[in-house]
Amino acid sequence: MPERVIEIKSAENIPAKWRDTPIGAFLRFHNLGEPLPGRSDKPELLIGMCMDSRKHLRIPDNFAFILRTGGANLRLAEFRVSYAIAVGGVRAIVLLGHTNCGMSGLGTRRHLFIDGLVEAGWSRSAAEVHFDRHAPEHEIGQETTFIRAEASRLRALYPKIEVAPLLYRIEDNSIVLLEE
Burial of 156 (0-12, 13-18, 19+ CB in 10 A): exposed
Q: Give the per-residue pLDDT at 2.
A: 54
Measured in whole angstroms, how far is the alpha carbon of residue 176 from the centre of its chain? Answer: 12
Query: Of 122, 178, 109, nearest to 148 (Cα)?
Result: 178
The string of pLDDT tens digits covering residues 33-79 is 998 888 888 898 999 999 988 888 999 999 999 999 999 999 989 99
Pairing between β-strand 92-98 and β-strand 162-169 as defined by DSSP bridges: parallel
Q: Can you give the pLDDT of all 180 residues of the chain as single tens digits?
A: 457 999 999 999 999 999 999 999 999 999 999 988 888 888 989 999 999 888 889 999 999 999 999 999 999 899 999 999 999 999 999 999 999 999 999 999 999 999 999 999 999 999 999 999 999 999 999 999 999 999 999 999 999 999 999 999 999 999 999 998
Q: Are 62 and 43 in contact (CB under 8 A)?
A: yes
| Residues contacting residue 81 through CB under 8 Å, at least 6 positions apart | 46, 48, 67, 74, 93, 154, 158
What is the extent of the structural domain holding 134? 105-139
- Same domain? For 111 and 60 the reply is no
The answer to whether the beta carbons of residues 143 and 98 sit under 8 Å apart is yes
Which amino acid type is present at position 137?
E
Asked if residue 147 and residue 130 are part of one domain, the reply reads no
Does 134 share its domain with 174? no
The closest of 43, 47, 42, 41 to 27, measured between CA atoms, is: 47
The pLDDT score that the predictor gives to residue 131 is: 98
Pairing of strands 162-169, 174-178: antiparallel
Domain count, the chain: 2
Residues 81 and 133 in one domain: no
Distance between CA atoms of residues 108 and 45, nearest Å: 34
Whether residue 167 sits in one domain with residue 97: yes
- Same domain? For 27 and 87 the reply is yes
Radius of gyration over alpha carbons of the chain, in Å?
17
Same domain, 22 and 59: yes
Q: What is the CATH number of the domain that holds 66?
A: 3.40.1050.10
DSSP state of 35: P
